[in-house]
Amino acid sequence: MKISIYKPNNADEIEQLFIKTFSDSEGRSEGEAIGSLVRDFMDNTDANDLYCFIATEHEQIIGGVFFTKMIFESGINAFILSPMATLTDHQGKGVGQKLINFGLKTLKEDGVELAITYGDPNFYSKVGFGVVTEKVVPTPLTLSYPEGWLSQSLISNEIEPIAGKSYCVKELNKPELW
């Protein structure tokens, strides 16, 4: 299995990976919604505000993870991981954790100070994320599942509370995604 940075000619296969994986786990309409989100990222998000890493095995893309820029009034350099997917038949074999660890290492090398995600604390705690409150890391929109607001510093052992507001890229700026 190889982890690499995605190339624009991978876009159709990546879109299908997210549609398939989320349709399997959460039903067709969620699969289509997440497929549109990742297509929107790949077509419209500024390249400086987007990272996408893919896992490939025998020429097939079996996993993918997106990170997009978050703006904080405090100026901290931050990205949010969302969404990610490993093809159903390949889950539970470490692909997801390898993708995230590769992504976090690359972000850190590029000077990113804070990584954020929004999801299952049991899974994301395996790769260094911990639950944070909105007082520590302000949320760009109102969360329907505050227990899933997770973060990790890429430059120190703890996260200093961040003052002021936060903003996500416009492709994520939709209440139904939060």
Ligand X SMILES: CC(C)(COP(=O)(O)OP(=O)(O)OC[C@H]1O[C@@H](n2cnc3c(N)ncnc32)[C@H](O)[C@@H]1OP(=O)(O)O)[C@@H](O)C(=O)NCCC(=O)NCCS
Strand partners, 84: 65
Selected binder of ligand X within 7, 28, 93, 165 (CB under 6 A): 93
Token pair, residue 66, equals 């997106």
Q: Is the CB of 40 or the CB of 74 nearer to ligand X?
A: 40
CB of 111 to ligand X, least distance (A): 25
Work out the widest C-alpha separation in the chain, in whole angstroms: 47
Q: Alpha-carbon distance 54 to 74, whole Å?
A: 31
Residue nearest to ligand X (CB): 96
Q: Is the CB of 3 or the CB of 74 nearer to ligand X?
A: 3
Q: Alpha-carbon distance 142 to 47, whole Å?
A: 26
Size of the site for ligand X (CB under 6 A): 19
Strand partners, 67: 51, 81
Token pair, residue 53, equals 């890493």
Which residues in 12-71 contact ligand X (CB under 6 A)?
21-22, 25, 63
Q: Does 126 bind ligand X (CB under 6 A)?
A: yes
Residues lying near ligand X in the complex (CB under 6 A) are found at 21-22, 25, 63, 82-86, 91-97, 119, 123, 126
